[in-house]
Amino acid sequence: MTETPPNPPPLSRLPLLELGFVNCPAIPYWVDLAGDPDLQHVNATLASLQARGAEGMPAKPEEVFGMEKSLEVPALGLGLPFTDIYRGVELRE
What's the mean per-residue pLDDT of the chain?
A: 78
Residue 70, beta-bridge partner list: 81
Contact 47, 34 (CB under 8 A): no
pLDDT > 90 in the chain, percent: 6
Q: How far apart are CA 86 and CA 90, in angstroms?
A: 8
| Model pTM score | 0.38
Mean pLDDT calculated for residue range 30-57: 78
pLDDT class of 46 with cuts at 50, 70, 90: confident
Contact 66, 74 (CB under 8 A): no
